[in-house]
Amino acid sequence: MLLSHRARLFELWRIAATYRIDTHLAIEEAPQLQPLARLIRMHPAAWGKKHQPNAIKYAIEDMGTLFLKLGQLLSTRRDLVPPEIIEQLVQLQDKVKPFDADVAIAQIQDSKHGLGKSIENLFARFDVKPLAAASIAQVHTAAMHDGREVVVKVVRPDIRTTIVTDFELLLELANWASARIEAARAVHIIDIVEDYRQVMLNELDLTLEADNTIQMRNNFLGSALMYVPEVYDAAKNVMVMERIQGVPISQIEVFDKLGYDRAALAKKGLTIFFTQVFRDNFFHADMHPGNVFVETPSLTTMNADAPAVDLGHEPRYIGLDCAIMGTLSKEDQLIVARMLLAVMNDNFTAMVDIVSRAGWIPPSADKHALMRDMKRTVGPMLNKPINDIDFAGVLMQILDIARRHHMSIPPQLMLLLKTLVHVEGLGRDLYPDLDIWSLAKPILSNWIKEQLDPMRNLQQLRQQLPEILLSTTDIPKLLDQGLQSLASQGSRQDSQLREIQQIRADMLNDRRRDWMALAGFGLSIAVATQVVGWLAPLFYIMAILAIIWRVLA
């Protein structure tokens, strides 16, 4: 296994050198990257090669799915990544190198993991040129025999092996970091890697994505916020769903051309996020621009000079690629909501109390120091628009505070934090002056009031009453089982006590015999030494003392 990890590291080194990605690194602004650049230049694949356009994009494509996901995350962070690199990373959202259409068709027709029918039987038309290609799958357009326009999503062939190998390597690095870096332990880095590995492997099964899409569609059925396309058919490697008319959230110039209110769109997007997290407890955890679309009247309006056709309603978001979804326990939901609300109210004392009651900090932690550090780090964010908030930077500072105060952040919350990084990046591009706090505060306040509403809790109790009443029929049986268990346990304890007492008695008898033997031996020696008169009293005394000691013991 170690050899395969080394081979993978050498492969990544070779790819980085082949595309000379060292020439794209901003060494002047980030001198800490200098050792990495030197290492890349040392590889023979880099010798004689110069700066190459789009090298970052091509290198990440060759490195595999895990690096594509990282590139997609960074593509939303114009505040962290230089513009020339952002232009390359944006292409990773839906312009990854496609695989051959014949392979896609074979996957679709496969009887085990595909739909098990010929393309001709499945579709009246199938377009061999992909509409889009992403890290996990690519999408082809088609038409059903009844005239419905659809998209066909097909998983990339043979990517599971690469994903498994990369995560094994990543897990080794996580173990190394957890053993040496306190911050890594504070965020449960090993658990995060393990959880995300399972998330990525689940993403390869399109039947799971189909189920998620159906659930998300039901959550927003008839909503003015978001539309989720209908799923028509699905197998492990193939999914067929309704084709929609829309453009990625990153195409701001299209929204301006269509006359869309970008501020309203940004508010609607943030409302969708909080609705998913708190109302539905089922949130999209992979919200890069390639997965977030906005309705348009017609695809032709993007390139036409004619006035845009009215949708007939305010444009909605379109939910796509529901492969990675997040959920929180009810307890964690309430903790997160109360923490955010305490921060929005500038009440960091309450926030620290919430964290303490949740068991995220040890009893010995200095709560006043933690409150002071959080206020200094998070407080300045409260009066800033989204464009002035360095969320990723603040998140790193919070993790550093967690390390210093031995705070333990539950792994399930890290997926939510990842989603927040995506959401903030999307909002920053769409409408930089968005005030996320004034929008989020009433949503959170209303949700918490609903959770604590006595009438709501009474209604829930009323709904659960039949189940509770049915469960009471088991009480006599449970009581009888409990009494039998106690009786059985009592008899076992009595038996064990008798055995222990017997063992103790046997040990005492053995000790008495040992001491009596010693006393007898002493008397024998004393009798035998009568000829030496001055030794006799000494042996008599030894024998008597041994007998007395045994009796007293």
Residues acting as catalytic residues: 286
- Of 156, 133, 158, 153, nearest to 142 by C-alpha is 153
Neighbours of 133 (CB within 10 A): 19
Q: Which residues contact 286 (CB under 8 A, 6 or more apart)?
A: 321, 323, 324, 422
Picking from 133, 124, 152, the residue whose alpha carbon sits closest to that of residue 243 is: 152
* Residues 6+ away with beta carbon under 8 Å from 267: 434, 439
| Centroid of chain to Cα 400 | 19
Q: Are strands 137-143 and 125-126 parallel, antiparallel or unpaired?
A: antiparallel
As a whole number of Å, the end-to-end CA separation of the chain is: 63
Amino acid at 74: L
Rg (CA), the chain: 35
- What tokens does 322 get? 């529901």
The answer for residues whose C-beta is within 8 angstroms of residue 432's C-beta and 6 or more apart is 385, 386, 387
Rounded to an integer, what distance in angstroms lies between the CA atom of residue 277 and that of residue 34?
41
199 vs 203: CA distance, rounded Å? 6
The Cα-based distances of 285 to 158, 249, 292 in angstroms read 24, 16, 11
Give the full edge-to-edge strand order of the sheet including 246-248: 226-227, 317-319, 292-295, 246-248
Provide the residue type at 284 as one letter.
H
Locus of tokens 């809790």: 457
User: Which residues are paired to 125 by β-bridges?
Assistant: 143
Q: Please state, in angstroms and rounded to a whole number, the distance separating the CA atoms of residues 542 and 354.
A: 71
Residue in the block written with tokens 């039949």: 466
Which residues fall within 8 angstroms of residue 161, CB to CB, at 6 or more apart? none
- Distance (Å, whole) CA 36 – CA 66: 20
CA atoms within 13 A on the CB side of 54: 10
Alpha helices in 129-188 (DSSP H): 160-180, 182-186
Sign of the dihedral defined by the CA atoms of residues 160, 161, 163, 167, in that order? positive
